[in-house]
Amino acid sequence: MGKIKYIALLLILFSLSSCQLQNDAVIMPSGKLPWPHQPPDIDNDKYNQLIQDLFIQTNLGEFQGGPNHPFCYIHDGLDIMIPNGTKIYAIESGYVRDIRTGTNGFGHIVISDAVIGSGFGWNYAHTRNFQFKVGDHVNQGDYIAEVYYPGADHLELVRIHVEGDIWSDVDLYDGYHSERYFVFHDNDPPRIFTPFYFFKNNSDTVFPRLDNTPPIISGDVDIVVGMHDRGEYARGDNLSSASEGTAVTRIEYEITGPAMPSVKKISFDFTKIIIRWVEPGLRERTLAVHKPYWLFPETHEGNSCYYIITNTPGTEPPDVPQGIAIAQRDYAWNTAEKDAYGTPRFPDGLYTITVTAYDSSGHRCTVSDQVMVANGD
């Protein structure tokens, strides 16, 4: 074979090889980011396996704490269960704003879209072996650190915003809902558990349910419902009986009863809630959203999310995300409410409470329970 023909053949083979590599390369869907443990040169087969194996144990909106621990809070990030030592890559380009080289797995690296001042960013927590220093520019796909959390191997990834230029104080980070940035393998809706629970407003006093009959309630009432999501966050075969359920994305409820039009309200929409760490009031804000799981006679499949669904105004939340106000705990279902003519808004009788929960992929679950209103009207 002549030299020129040989070179031409090599060029053709190289071209075909390049096309094959290009065809095998992962192209992220519009608006989606790579996962932090997703190598930049990953091929489609390995990418699909990564998505299939994805195990996220905790997300934004979940209750964290224990009966013997005075500190409780609402979780603000995605706990991605991956082994210690796994390489972590920048999911977006930006500037390193803070590095913490803490012990026992509490190191982190923060990369922001702003070189100075306020901005949005990502906090890669439970990491070490940092490849950059504060002030460096990082490109998407750069190897930045490794996972490190002894005894509970995982990376916590948090979408954050910081006001001012105080990136070294984690207590000033505002956590935002982040699921919309990523691709999940999701075929399952959330789960809602019965019975529902009815508490006297702002108390741990529950209206009892005797002999499996609907509880009898009066006055200002908190409706508490246990629920969680599994579909888009974790594979069932990765779960243990002790695993907690992940938080749902949005909750709505409806009250129907005798001789009255139904009342439909929006409860929590975590896509429009900021999780703020600044004290004081962290515990109080947490307990405006959740009833602690240890107040209940039993938990459901390890679920720790018991939402006080009436602790919101019941209207569409603002488009701009807001923090949780302690005053939200004062909202309740006023079963004794009367109209301008003194007529009971909720006359005594049997009512059906219907709750709908959504996940980030749009799946939903709807479940109902009943309660008896008895205000003596």
Chain segment 256-310, per-residue pLDDT in tens:
998 788 999 999 999 999 999 887 899 999 999 999 988 887 766 556 699 999 9
Rounded Cα distance, 126 and 154, in Å:
7
pLDDT computed for residue 11 by the predictor? 45
Q: Residue 256: CB partners within 8 Å, gap ≥ 6?
A: 262, 263, 351, 352, 354
H runs (alpha helix) in the chain: 3-24, 44-53, 282-286
Domain boundaries, the chain: 44-53+78-177, 191-373
Nearest Cα residue to 202 out of 227, 219, 214, 216: 219
Nearest Cα residue to 220 out of 203, 195, 237, 245: 203
pLDDT computed for residue 127 by the predictor? 97
Say how many CA atoms lie within 13 Å of 324 toward its Cβ.
36
pLDDT computed for residue 245 by the predictor? 66
Domain 191-373 has CATH 2.60.40: yes
Q: Residue 190: CB partners within 8 Å, gap ≥ 6?
A: 227, 228, 229, 230, 231, 248, 357, 358, 359, 363, 364, 365
pLDDT computed for residue 134 by the predictor? 97
pLDDT computed for residue 67 by the predictor? 80
Rounded Cα distance, 349 and 374, in Å:
7
Cα 71 versus chain centre, distance? 19
pLDDT computed for residue 242 by the predictor? 35
Cα torsion 74, 190, 363, 261: sign: negative
pLDDT computed for residue 24 by the predictor? 75
User: What are the residue ranges in the chain where pLDDT is below 50?
Assistant: 5-23, 232, 234-243
pLDDT computed for residue 3 by the predictor? 53
Is beta strand 333-334 parallel, antiparallel or unpaired with respect to 220-228? antiparallel
Domain 44-53+78-177 has CATH 3.40.50.880: no
pLDDT computed for residue 236 by the predictor? 42
